[in-house]
Amino acid sequence: MMGPKVRRTTIWRRELAIFLAIIVWGVGTSSAPAADPARGVEILERAGLYAGPVPVHFIVIAQIAQPKAKDSWLRKAWRSPSKRLWIFVVGGVIVLSVVVGGWYLVEANKKKRPKLQVTESQIGPYRLQNLLATGHTSQVWEVVELSSHLHYAMKLLLPENVYNPVHRQLLFHEAEVGRILAHPNIIKIRTVMKDPEHPFFIMEFFPSGSLKLRIMRKEKAFIQEKVHDIFKQTMTGLAYMHASGWVHRDIKPENILCNSAGEVRIIDFAISQRIPNTGRPPFRGGSPEALLNKHLFEKPVSPEVYNPDVTKEFGEFILRMLAKRREERPNNFHEALMQFRNIKVFKTPAVKKEESK
């Protein structure tokens, strides 16, 4: 059995809920809820707040009642100058504790992070074996993994660039791109270490010089013999990169490693970029079933939505071709071609190539 106090609270909550619902509805529709009690019922029922007839007095009371704000102890205390001072003091102590506590947690977390063990000849789990190159921002080392004795190459920021956010970002970007790509003619990047003092990444070690080195050494016989192979592999690697949505942007003989067997690895993705999206299919689905479903039932949007350079008439033509109902599509390709002949596809005029002389 509910006691009178509990019952009063329940009724009070219920009336408050109804009151709020009426206010929300009143604001939403900008009309007096009492003017249409039937709609009030519908809204309350939909909100799961009420399952019977709305007592009219609730609606009327809800509109005229001014809830009396109860003074909180804080507001009361605020009025007294001596207590106000205490509020400042206590509030200040709380804020200070939160700040100091937060800072302490951050520092404690930093200390917990395992520190890289670094000596003259070792960085973390790698022994520095040979310095292969020193560039403007980084060094490349041949390293040996202590646990496996396998040889890798390590690209390490020079000490003066370690705290430079741009150089750090370029190094990590290079590592991320290299980790995504997997092709026999592209250097494979394995791990990246975002250490504050010794940021580096580890990649496949390819014992060779760069193509630039071979050109500078005038290895004419080698180049004559391997030129086709070198080009083919470089292009295959780049074609793969493009197909994966990346453009290298720094292809030059220094960034093509080539061993004496004529095998090629493309390196240095520091300034590689994603190829901007140029198009998209009318429907996309997470699974073949979802895609099929969309082809069968979803209304396609005009390509104008994705490419504002597409004309309205071309958008309409595409939508006709994609129509679900057979009778709305062109009857055959001849008819489609006849329609297409007179359609302008892009709003901006095509740039004419210079006529060859």
Binding residues for ligand ATP, rule: CB under 6 A, are 132-133, 135-138, 140, 153, 155, 187, 203-206, 210, 254-255, 257, 267-268, 270
Q: Which runs of consecutive H residues, i.e. helices, occur in the chain?
A: 4-29, 37-46, 56-64, 73-79, 81-112, 165-180, 211-216, 220-243, 288-297, 312-321, 333-341
Query: What residue number has its CB nearest to ligand ATP?
Result: 135
136 binds, among ligand ATP, Mg ion, none (CB under 5 to 8 A by kind): ligand ATP
- Closer residue to Mg ion, CB minimum distance, 145 or 254: 254
Compute the least distance from the CB of residue 227 to ligand ATP, in Å: 19
* Separation of alpha carbons 121 and 278, rounded Å: 48
Contacts of 253 (CB under 8 A, 6+ apart): 210, 211, 212, 215
Compute the least distance from the CB of residue 256 to ligand ATP, in Å: 9
Q: Using an 8 Å Cβ cutoff, are 24 and 32 in contact?
A: no
Compute the least distance from the CB of residue 155 to Mg ion, in Å: 10
Residue 246: closest CA among 170, 180, 321: 180
Compute the least distance from the CB of residue 216 to ligand ATP, in Å: 12
Compute the least distance from the CB of residue 167 to ligand ATP, in Å: 9
- Closer residue to ligand ATP, CB minimum distance, 97 or 134: 134
137 binds, among Mg ion, ligand ATP, none (CB under 5 to 8 A by kind): ligand ATP
266 binds, among Mg ion, ligand ATP, none (CB under 5 to 8 A by kind): none
* Separation of alpha carbons 160 and 167, rounded Å: 10
Please report, as ranges, the residues that interact with Mg ion according to CB under 5 A. Answer: 254-255, 268
- Closer residue to ligand ATP, CB minimum distance, 61 or 133: 133
Compute the least distance from the CB of residue 220 to ligand ATP, in Å: 21
- Closer residue to ligand ATP, CB minimum distance, 124 or 303: 124
Task: With H, G, I as helix, E, B as strand and everything else as coil, classify residue 113.
Answer: coil
Residue 50: closest CA among 96, 12, 15, 97: 15
How far are the Cα atoms of 37, 185, 209 from residue 188, in angstroms, in the given order?
71, 9, 17
- Closer residue to ligand ATP, CB minimum distance, 187 or 319: 187
Length of the chain: 357
